[in-house]
Structure 1
Amino acid sequence: MLSRLRPDTVRAKLVAMALATTFAALVTMSVSMLIYDLSTFQKNWVDDLTTQAEIVATVSAPAVGFNDPAVARQNLELLRVRPQIQQGAIYGADGAIFAAYAQSGANLPPLPERPGRPGHAIEGGRMVVYHPILENGERVGTVYLSARYRLLDRLASYAMILGVVTLASLLLAALVASRLQQAITRPLRAVTEVARAVMQRRDFSLRVEHDADGSHGKGGQGGGSAVHSGEIGTLVDAFNDMLAEIGQRANALQEANLTLEREMAVRQGAERALLLADRRKDEFLATLAHELRNPLAPLRTGLDIMRLNGGDPAASLRARGVMERQLKQMVRLVDDLLDVSRINTGKLTIRRESLELHAVVANALEIARPFIDAQGHELAVDLPARPVHVLGDTTRLAQVLSNLLNNAARYTPRGGRIALSADVGGDEDDGGRLHIRVADNGIGIAPGMLGEIFEMFVQADASLERTNQGLGVGLSLARKLVELHDGTLEAASGGAGAGSTFIVTLPVLAEVPEPVARPSLGHGGDTRFRILLVDDNEDFVNAIAGLLRTMGHTVHVCHDGPQALADAGAFVPDFAFLDIGLPGLNGYDLARALRTIPALGRTVMIAVTGWGQQKDRDLAFEAGFEEHLVKPVSVEQILAILAGHREGVAVADRG
């Protein structure tokens, strides 16, 4: 049809003009959209990869600072969820590779031997990012990420689509222009007006409307190809279709941008959470160092008093009392941390048995009353007159109540009032619910802190001028212990200076089982044993050995594994207390070796170690130990073990 047009006719010139105008408009719009899309694509990809590198640097800073490549590699392995990222590496402060990650099955170039300058670059079809790892404002390493940069693929696919659209539009424009008649000005004006409106208002829903007689009027909303007669009808339809296509692509691009914005918001939230966790970690470490140093000063002073005033029994007695109290404080701090760790890892179990409320409260008061009296507080206790039974672990419930009482005493000014009360409410058919309240008239809790007071390492008063001690784990530990008993722990306060109330809610036993008689462990009496002590801490083991010798026991001390193995066969101990971290031969291997000696068939072996998790206990029992003690170990714990095994072979029975 186009071949029948003579080049010197007006119709041919109109066709050529229409084709030239359409082509110019399509090329201009296509190039503009292509440039905008590619620039947006590159910016979003740079921002995304930089944010990913910043997150890796933040979470890997402690691993680099503590020289822990395993944790750093685990952080890099998380990049598997981002298949576009093919390689990653963490460089140390010296510029050497500290940890690396590479996508499996990909043909990748070798990692750079040294980190480059911070920023991004495009290398051989890949985008690489270098980001510094900072710790306390000091650069301790560099994160390197390499990802596939599919700019050319996106350019080719986008250009292909635009080329097809352009070609189709030109074909349609040629067909329409070949059928132009005298009435070409009005429809072209309509097209021009719609195009101008679209460009000004960015409203791709505008269309060139068809009149009933086939002519074309001004653009408006909706519209459609109700009549397709007329030489320019096809051009108008093509123009409308192009607007629809561009509108769809614009909507898709807007949706993609919104998705990227949401992902950036999520990443920023995660970054803020990591920064908060890092800040709380730093505060906790500083508080832990402070709280552990506090007992060390009186312990050192007590030792100096006993050394300088050895002839004054009263001074030595007072010094020992101070040292015992401070040592209990350190043990309590460590025990709280270990309990929280066991709960978080699912390693802590509780022994469930029928408990009477008065007995649990009595145990808690026995623990907390000395501190309450030392602070000069008034303590009021109001419990139900009738017995109330719950199912749980008496030690752990007493620990919960003593923590709440100590917390109330700690955050109440001297001479305050503390009240412990309990009542039973709820459905009596299933026993009801027991509510235990610990209230004080202390500093109170700000409304904004009520939701955070049970978080780890959070304290109501975190200022440097505070007079209260603690790590901020007591309330978190108490809530988790209560939840293990199928209960709840809540806090209430009228605000700063208005005191606070903590409410423990536990299910009450509807039917109380008959108590089960437990065999008595008995006492050691005058029985004397042969005891082997093996520990590389000479001060600790020699002190325990001296105490046991004063009680009449025969004690042999070794400071390493090979020495203990060589001496045990001749000494033939009744009890062997073995440290695990021994030089030369660890405690597990030493226990297995001792079990192979026939003369030691009746020896009771006890593991003495600073590792107290369930897996450590399992390892000890698998090695042949019968008991597992966690340091620091008191002489009372050793005597309890001796008393519990009094029916074993004593010194006199050895012949």
Structure 2
Amino acid sequence: MWARLRPATVRGKLVTMALATTFVALMTAACGMLLYDLDSYQQYWVDDMTTQAEIIAVVSTPALSFNDPSAARQNLGMLRVRPHILAGAVYDARGAMFAAYAQSSQDTPVFPTRPGRAGHAITGGHLVVYHPVIENGEAIGTVYLIARYGLVERVRTYAAIMGGVMLLSLLLAALVANRLQQGITQPLAAVTGVAREVMEKRDFSLRVRSSNASGEIATLEYAFNDMLAEVGRRAQALQNTNRTLQYEMTVRQDAERALLQADRRKDEFLATLAHELRNPLAPIRTGLDILRMAGNDKPACDRARGIMERQLRQMVRLVDDLLDVSRINTGKLTIKREPVALQSVVSDALELVRPFVEAQEHRLQVELPQHPVYLLGDATRLAQVLSNLLNNAAKYTNRGGELALRAVMEHGQLVIRVSDNGIGVAPHMLGEIFEMFVQADTSLERSTAGLGVGLSLARRLVELHGGTVTAQSPGIGQGSTMTVTLPVMAAPDEAQDALQPAGPEARRLRVLLADDNVDFVDSIAVLLRGAGHTVRVCHDGAQALAAADAFAPDYAFLDIGLPRVNGYDLARALRKLPSLHQTVLVAVTGWGQQKDRLLAQEAGFTAHLVKPVAVEQILAIMAGGREGMLPRSS
């Protein structure tokens, strides 16, 4: 009940508090004053009645002494002037009534048969006094008085007065509190209103308007506004943190998905790599068996050699693609920028892929601009791009399919489109097929799946040339088109002459071969001797160093991993020999990273070839070609 009557507003609470405080104070004061007044009132009446009793006792002493009751009654009759004294009596020394008096003749009081002890008593709303009559120190009688004791009327009167005073005081307190509370409740109401609005709208930019108050109210307004500002800053910081956490969570989830996908692709790649490397090894092994068993059957031996050469080229191509991707990812692949003709690049690319295209019985259509188009780039790498795209199209097109390579000029740029009518690409895979180890078709039925690095390598080589490559496909089973866009350059002077390689001067040379792979080095020596050159073969570094000074070779092809003396130390030692100052030192090694080329250059090598090495590469260097040449030290 009281909870429902309690005011809900600060203003009501303050007024109620002021009134309650005033009421309690007034009630406390009224009760105190009432108790004090009742005590004073009682004391007054006791003193007054005692005084009257003493007067009666004094004036009644002679009457008692001379046994004159009439004189005593006359003395009691003086009490008529005190109407509140209802009756009185004088008792003699024996306690017998001597004289009596009553205020009203109608109401005869009942007098006690014997007087009580001296003193006073309040009983039944009456004050009774007994006072002894003393003469010469001896009690000769007792005076008895009884009067009305108006305590209830006194309390009522006092309560009425205090009620009026209290009511007036409460009204004045309410008016004063109502007036004073405006300086307190209005600012508090403003603070409460802003707090409610902030909770509803979550808008921490709201502020309490200044009420020009002073003291604690002003401090409260300032502190509340400052708190809102701080909460707003923290809320904003929390939101930013939440957004950051959400972004980081999204990035982490994307990274986890990417890692899972990369791990899956890695497993697929390793399985595919094992499959692709085993494929050429089987016919190579078979070819070796044919060579061992065929004996003098030259046609069978020629066929076996042809098979082995094709499969070896396939293995070299796989390894070269992987090495090229690794160099690009580590930023170590550089391209030579020189004017090259589009027609020459396409011709080189077709030469690389034609055996595979013909083996698949595909029909290849080539359309090039009628006028010469020149590019500023690396002819070998550009041919590698086109051969990768054509090889990819041939792999993912069923036997007897249609392939096309079309080059046109659009908006001042060269646009080359390699299209096929093969298995096509799903829409969701168009943006992924240029990633490492991604393949459009991973089914077991396709025997020429590859490693999934060709398109990734092609894209990165094109980007190194300042171009782009994109994929388009209407969908699964509807073929695909790879579009390469490259910047072109104006035709250089004497371009036609530059495109015609000068034939090497036929001359006999002294060649030093140092390699611990006996089969490899002996087979190269046989081929070089067949070409008319003088060849010295060594199988360790110390033997090569001992033979070099007397042999004075024009060219020295040295393996790096030689026993006893490694290739780097051997090259440094050979450079110190006066007879070998003009010798061209060529490093032949399985290590092809940029750091390996730098080590070779520091050791004094002129060129650097990566195994497996074909005899054509060796002959090209001996003819003065630039293949494998290292930059000259400054």
- Establish whether TM, by shorter chain, passes 0.5: yes
SS in 2 for 1:556: strand
Indicate how the Cα distance of structure 1 residues 197 and 462 shifts in structure 2: closer, same or farther if over 3 A, else same.
Answer: farther
Residue by residue over 1:220-265, the C-alpha shift from the partner in whole angstroms, topping out at 9 and shown as x without a partner, is x865452648x99579648846863774476256336414444444
1:205–1:247: 8 Å Cα contact kept in structure 2? no
The equivalent of 2:391 in structure 1 is 406
Q: Give yes or no for the alignment of 1:296 onto 2:278.
A: no
The equivalent of 2:238 in structure 1 is 254
Q: Provide the rounded CA distance (Å) in 1 between the counterparts of 2:574 and 2:194.
A: 94
Q: Provide the rounded CA distance (Å) in 2 between the counterparts of 1:206 and 1:381.
A: 68
Q: Give yes or no for the alignment of 1:520 onto 2:505.
A: no
Q: Which of residues 309, 321, 329 is equivalent to 1:336?
A: 321
Indicate how the Cα distance of structure 1 residues 560 and 243 shifts in structure 2: closer, same or farther if over 3 A, else same.
Answer: same
The equivalent of 2:312 in structure 1 is 327
Amino acid across the alignment from 1:450 = L
Amino acid across the alignment from 1:607 = A
Indicate how the Cα distance of structure 1 residues 268 and 543 shifts in structure 2: closer, same or farther if over 3 A, else same.
Answer: same
Structure 2 length as normaliser, TM-score? Answer: 0.62
Q: Provide the rounded CA distance (Å) in 1 between the counterparts of 2:571 and 2:226.
A: 83
| Amino-acid identity (%) | 61
The equivalent of 2:513 in structure 1 is 533
The equivalent of 1:41 in structure 2 is none
2:337–2:378: 8 Å Cα contact kept in structure 1? yes
Indicate how the Cα distance of structure 1 residues 417 and 254 shifts in structure 2: closer, same or farther if over 3 A, else same.
Answer: same
Indicate how the Cα distance of structure 1 residues 543 and 244 shifts in structure 2: closer, same or farther if over 3 A, else same.
Answer: same
Q: Provide the rounded CA distance (Å) in 2 between the counterparts of 1:248 and 1:489.
A: 50
Q: Give yes or no for the alignment of 1:363 onto 2:330.
A: no
1:158-557 alignment runs, 5 A limit:
223-226=208-211, 228=213, 233=217, 237=221, 240=224, 244=228, 247-248=231-232, 251=235, 254-255=238-239, 257-258=241-242, 259-426=244-411, 432-515=412-495, 516=497, 520-524=502-506, 527=508, 529-557=509-537
SS in 1 for 2:289: helix
Indicate how the Cα distance of structure 1 residues 193 and 522 shifts in structure 2: closer, same or farther if over 3 A, else same.
Answer: closer
Amino acid across the alignment from 1:365 = L
Shift of 1:374: 0.8
Which stretches in structure 1 are left out of the alignment for 5+ residues?
Answer: 1-9, 15-180, 208-220, 427-431, 646-655
Q: Provide the rounded CA distance (Å) in 2 between the counterparts of 1:243 and 1:355.
A: 72
Amino acid across the alignment from 1:524 = A
Residue by residue over 1:57-99, the C-alpha shift from the partner in whole angstroms, topping out at 9 and shown as x without a partner, is xxxxxxxxxxxxxxxxxxxxxxxxxxxxxxxxxxxxxxxxxxx
The equivalent of 1:609 in structure 2 is 589
SS in 2 for 1:620: helix
The equivalent of 2:554 in structure 1 is 574
The equivalent of 2:565 in structure 1 is 585
Q: Provide the rounded CA distance (Å) in 1 between the counterparts of 2:423 and 2:482.
A: 14
Residue by residue over 1:476-530, the C-alpha shift from the partner in whole angstroms, topping out at 9 and shown as x without a partner, is 22222223333322221101111111122233434442235578352435x2x44
Indicate how the Cα distance of structure 1 residues 373 and 572 shifts in structure 2: closer, same or farther if over 3 A, else same.
Answer: same
Q: Provide the rounded CA distance (Å) in 1 between the counterparts of 2:210 and 2:190.
A: 18
SS in 2 for 1:301: helix
1:1-150 alignment runs, 5 A limit:
none
Amino acid across the alignment from 1:373 = E
Q: Provide the rounded CA distance (Å) in 2 between the counterparts of 1:495 and 1:291.
A: 27
Indicate how the Cα distance of structure 1 residues 615 and 228 shifts in structure 2: closer, same or farther if over 3 A, else same.
Answer: same
1:482–1:488: 8 Å Cα contact kept in structure 2? yes
Residue by residue over 1:336-361, the C-alpha shift from the partner in whole angstroms, topping out at 9 and shown as x without a partner, is 22222333344333334443333332
Q: Provide the rounded CA distance (Å) in 2 between the counterparts of 1:637 and 1:555.
A: 16
SS in 2 for 1:422: strand
SS in 1 for 2:526: helix
Amino acid across the alignment from 2:347 = A
The equivalent of 1:51 in structure 2 is none
Q: Provide the rounded CA distance (Å) in 2 between the counterparts of 1:373 and 1:288.
A: 24
SS in 1 for 2:439: coil
Matched pairs, number = 449
Q: Provide the rounded CA distance (Å) in 2 between the counterparts of 1:456 and 1:272.
A: 16
Q: Provide the rounded CA distance (Å) in 2 between the counterparts of 1:616 and 1:242.
A: 66
SS in 2 for 1:617: helix
Structure 1 or 2, whichever has the larger Rg, is: 2
Structure 1 length as normaliser, TM-score? Answer: 0.60
Indicate how the Cα distance of structure 1 residues 505 and 237 shifts in structure 2: closer, same or farther if over 3 A, else same.
Answer: closer
2:504–2:624: 8 Å Cα contact kept in structure 1? yes
Indicate how the Cα distance of structure 1 residues 470 and 523 shifts in structure 2: closer, same or farther if over 3 A, else same.
Answer: farther
The equivalent of 1:121 in structure 2 is none
Indicate how the Cα distance of structure 1 residues 353 and 256 shifts in structure 2: closer, same or farther if over 3 A, else same.
Answer: closer
Q: Provide the rounded CA distance (Å) in 1 between the counterparts of 2:342 and 2:574.
A: 46
Shift of 1:417: 0.7
Amino acid across the alignment from 2:462 = V
Shift of 1:571: 3.7
Residue by residue over 1:298-325, the C-alpha shift from the partner in whole angstroms, topping out at 9 and shown as x without a partner, is 1112112222222432222221111100
Indicate how the Cα distance of structure 1 residues 436 and 286 shifts in structure 2: closer, same or farther if over 3 A, else same.
Answer: same
Q: Provide the rounded CA distance (Å) in 2 between the counterparts of 1:242 and 1:485.
A: 60
Shift of 1:546: 3.4
SS in 2 for 1:347: coil
2:190–2:208: 8 Å Cα contact kept in structure 1? no
Q: Provide the rounded CA distance (Å) in 1 between the counterparts of 2:542 and 2:260.
A: 49
Indicate how the Cα distance of structure 1 residues 334 and 260 shifts in structure 2: closer, same or farther if over 3 A, else same.
Answer: same
SS in 1 for 2:450: coil
SS in 2 for 1:424: strand
Indicate how the Cα distance of structure 1 residues 261 and 521 shifts in structure 2: closer, same or farther if over 3 A, else same.
Answer: same
Amino acid across the alignment from 2:359 = A
1:615-654 alignment runs, 5 A limit:
615-644=595-624
The equivalent of 2:30 in structure 1 is none
Amino acid across the alignment from 1:520 = A
Q: Provide the rounded CA distance (Å) in 2 between the counterparts of 1:227 and 1:592.
A: 93
SS in 2 for 1:640: helix
Shift of 1:193: 13
Shift of 1:622: 3.0
2:194–2:207: 8 Å Cα contact kept in structure 1? no
2:342–2:374: 8 Å Cα contact kept in structure 1? yes
Judge which range, 612-621 or 499-508, deviates more. Answer: 612-621
Amino acid across the alignment from 1:476 = S
1:197–1:203: 8 Å Cα contact kept in structure 2? no
Amino acid across the alignment from 2:228 = A
Indicate how the Cα distance of structure 1 residues 206 and 288 shifts in structure 2: closer, same or farther if over 3 A, else same.
Answer: closer
Amino acid across the alignment from 1:413 = N
Indicate how the Cα distance of structure 1 residues 615 and 226 shifts in structure 2: closer, same or farther if over 3 A, else same.
Answer: same
